[in-house]
Structure 1
């Protein structure tokens, strides 16, 4: 039996991960008719050694006549079906983004969000879909205030998409569109949700435009990659031509992670605002090197807990550094008799997550007086709906000063609030396991409890996630069922 054939070619394409698209284009060119090795290299921007390896993999299925090579016409349909060659010319349809963006929560000014145009979201999705092999792949959006995730799902319905963002409103909105996007809440300064780590083939991010912000978002993105050989990190970043020194600092921050900048598409992204950078930014394609994984954790440890990664607003480099939440939100369970936490720099998400993370008899937390969980009755009611089965809360506004508020939380007696109390006091465990154990404690057999837990959670991806990382709009219904 002669070596090579469709199985060997399919294996070679698969081994290339999301970068396999160009190899499929080479096979499609061979199937289309006689060509040359030089043309295959030049037309598809594939290294000669890679093309030669692909030809060796095809073995007897490739014919050569008069200096031209081509795929055996009798076997071409098999290649077309197996490698989906017929789908390569398709231009993915992405529309309706303008209405989705118009209905989304307003950009969070405290986090220096500036919205990209609908055309930009669509352009990003089309470019990703036509550049990479995304069928069956997973894309993680590290921050997604531009709704790139929704555009990508429209362009590539068979691509798994995950969003990690600090903004609860945004996560609820994305989840409410019914696109099957897995959403996780996290402030990246304190870490990446464990369920997201090592899960992605491609990362997309539009980070804060500071060296610290770019390095943090790209670093967390690298932690999310599962394909270290072929994975890509795609980033939007722009700087004013009047301040090239800032652009240099950011690019050095990228290189400090030992990421290679593989490509840069000028002025690819356009924004409503951001006029300091011409309402535009470039699209960078970064790729990890072998050394990235040796230094990544050290670089991120240097940034961990830093509140100052943004260019404007209360969380900017000019703002006061926050103290307190890093150890709690960036580590494991913390137990003590009493705890005082300074959340004076809370952008809105820290308060609830700290109360989920700790099991301390009495917690006192200092937060901004206009904190969204305190500033009106609706916010206070929502906080109690989330955490009331675990803590009794006393909310003292304008204390100790006009710009501050104090939250006093007293742990409720163990077992007093059944399943909800058990969930809230085990927020660091995998949600499926914790909920199953809570149901077993009510008398359900273990198998029945596991099935019921899966039914209650509804989304399989959340079964292995920590309650601490699941969005509030997912947690609250679980507590009240």
Structure 2
């Protein structure tokens, strides 16, 4: 990710820069206790009976295998780990192993063998009460995103089965699809190390962020599986919990992202999936995608998760526990149509790049010719797919004088704002779904949670959207124009140390950059020597400022990875001090 700012000259707000001093913000989780780590990761629960037996009496490997049903290789790995450690006390006589002090006392303490292991924590009534309270903040289910919410009892049952099978202490858990609120239940439980909640619906992410927990809150990230996993969460998760669309394409896309998030060979994916008793062919097609992803089926609990509605599957789904095999899997580019209903349904023939391409290109060519009269740079239309624009680590390079044409049909609400945050051009042509709001004689106010409403509320100082003069059936063509000056490419600005610093950190147009880096670089470029910060001071000041806004930014994050409510807060208050 780049860290040099772009130019941004036309803001009316001015900020006095004070000399920065480090502060501790209330939102900084400095006092949050760190959960203890499970001694053998997720496998600790399965190994616990064997460990208990060995602390009580000598045992053979066969007896240790029988105690908990763990394979001989798993028992040998446990014993070899103790032998390779610095604490003596593990002895073997012929084929019998014994555990003596001081290692025995250390193992009893590390594994918590003298502490009770209560089962069914997620089935306690207070968990359901919490879920009911959090659910009041959720938006209405969206048919086009296959929102068939699991019941609160279904969520509790899913988490209870996972908890009985795996030791979650200290684990990093990624919840792919946050509407069922598994992420909040896991975070509130307090045993996991960290929780990440990912969703394509910014309104769901906002509801997750609105929950107040006594434990550390989940890390929230926007994720459309057709675009890809946020870079900062690649190889991060010990466990992924997901409930994908019940189509072969939906299962394939969600499992590809889930696999990319796994931290290693011991990680697991918990997937909910169900099909009606008369739809065995569809069930086979979807289950086949698990094998195509090169995932092994470790366990399956039939009818474990219950749903409100979902009559096509009998209101129940099975819970699958999958393990990576070390193979790459058959991960092709995700299909655009993943869902069972709506314009992005798997059976829909509508593709986002279809009909209006010619008209959009003509509009862009007209803009390029008009701009060339003032800039002298001859350009033309340049088509950019939304996956390429939002899914890469940097914005696609534009030809000199080119006007990008971006296809946004099927936008779930988060594409348009992020496209405008990422584009580095003076103008663009956007091919969008038909907006009935523009055609209504008495339109209601747009929601500012995402889409056009969010752009009008938070990017009106940067972009102006107007309908194109040319019309097309089945789509809206919008002309987007920068009204605060197009951003200077980061490399060009970095080459010119004397370039004027923008009045505000140039976040718009730097959507692929880490906002902490953009703000930090801005803080080092003040012309006032008394106020200028060193790079180290600027990084700390930028991190503190983001924490004061309740925004967690990880290495590898980009601005467009954040939920829109967090981006709005940052655009409204981009400057420390």
Give TM-score, length-normalised by structure 1. 0.86
Q: Is the 1:432–1:463 Cα contact (8 Å) retained in structure 2?
A: no
Equivalence for 1:427 = 511
The CA RMSD over aligned residues, in Å, is 3.1
Counterpart pick for 2:184 among 128, 150, 168 = 150
Q: Secondary structure, in 3 states, of the residue corresponding to 2:429?
A: strand
Q: Does 1:322 align with 2:352?
A: yes
* Offset of residue 419 of structure 1: 6.0
Q: Is the 1:17–1:133 Cα contact (8 Å) retained in structure 2?
A: yes
Q: Is the 2:206–2:565 Cα contact (8 Å) retained in structure 1?
A: yes
* Offset of residue 109 of structure 1: 1.2
Equivalence for 1:23 = 47
1:409-458 Cα offsets, whole Å, 9 max, x none, are: 11231579946561112111122211211232345313332222111211
Equivalence for 2:414 = 349
1:99-140 Cα offsets, whole Å, 9 max, x none, are: 322432222211111000101212222232332232222111
> Partners of 2:188 and 2:72 in 1: how far apart?
35
Instruction: Label 1:378 to 1:174 Cα distance change in 2 as closer, same or farther (>3 A).
Output: closer
* Offset of residue 237 of structure 1: 0.6
> Partners of 2:269 and 2:456 in 1: how far apart?
39
* Offset of residue 354 of structure 1: 1.4
Instruction: Label 1:400 to 1:213 Cα distance change in 2 as closer, same or farther (>3 A).
Output: same
Instruction: Label 1:402 to 1:378 Cα distance change in 2 as closer, same or farther (>3 A).
Output: farther
Q: Secondary structure, in 3 states, of the residue corresponding to 2:107?
A: helix
> Partners of 2:297 and 2:138 in 1: how far apart?
32
Give TM-score, length-normalised by structure 2. 0.72
Q: Is the 1:129–1:155 Cα contact (8 Å) retained in structure 2?
A: no
Instruction: Label 1:68 to 1:381 Cα distance change in 2 as closer, same or farther (>3 A).
Output: closer
Q: Is the 2:231–2:557 Cα contact (8 Å) retained in structure 1?
A: yes
* Offset of residue 33 of structure 1: 5.3
Q: Secondary structure, in 3 states, of the residue corresponding to 1:203?
A: strand
Q: Secondary structure, in 3 states, of the residue corresponding to 1:103?
A: coil
* Offset of residue 356 of structure 1: 1.6
> Partners of 1:199 and 1:152 in 2: how far apart?
17
> Partners of 1:339 and 1:371 in 2: how far apart?
25
Instruction: Label 1:158 to 1:201 Cα distance change in 2 as closer, same or farther (>3 A).
Output: closer
Q: Secondary structure, in 3 states, of the residue corresponding to 1:360?
A: coil
Q: Is the 2:89–2:102 Cα contact (8 Å) retained in structure 1?
A: no
Equivalence for 2:369 = none
Q: Secondary structure, in 3 states, of the residue corresponding to 1:129?
A: helix
> Partners of 1:71 and 1:363 in 2: how far apart?
70
70-79 or 437-446, larger mean C-alpha shift: 70-79
* Offset of residue 158 of structure 1: 3.8
Equivalence for 1:453 = 542
Q: Does 1:311 align with 2:340?
A: yes
Task: Choose between structure 1 and 2 for higher RCO, CA contacts under 8 A separated by at least 6 residues.
Answer: 2
> Partners of 1:116 and 1:423 in 2: how far apart?
38
Which structure is larger by alpha-carbon Rg, 1 or 2? Answer: 2
Counterpart pick for 1:130 among 164, 171, 180 = 164
Instruction: Label 1:464 to 1:456 Cα distance change in 2 as closer, same or farther (>3 A).
Output: farther
> Partners of 1:256 and 1:56 in 2: how far apart?
34
Q: Is the 1:390–1:421 Cα contact (8 Å) retained in structure 2?
A: no
Number of paired residues? 459
Bigger share in helix: 1
88-97 or 356-365, larger mean C-alpha shift: 88-97
- Uncovered stretches (5+) of structure 1, i.e. residues with no partner: 1-12
- Uncovered stretches (5+) of structure 2, i.e. residues with no partner: 1-37, 354-384, 488-499
Q: Is the 1:259–1:287 Cα contact (8 Å) retained in structure 2?
A: yes
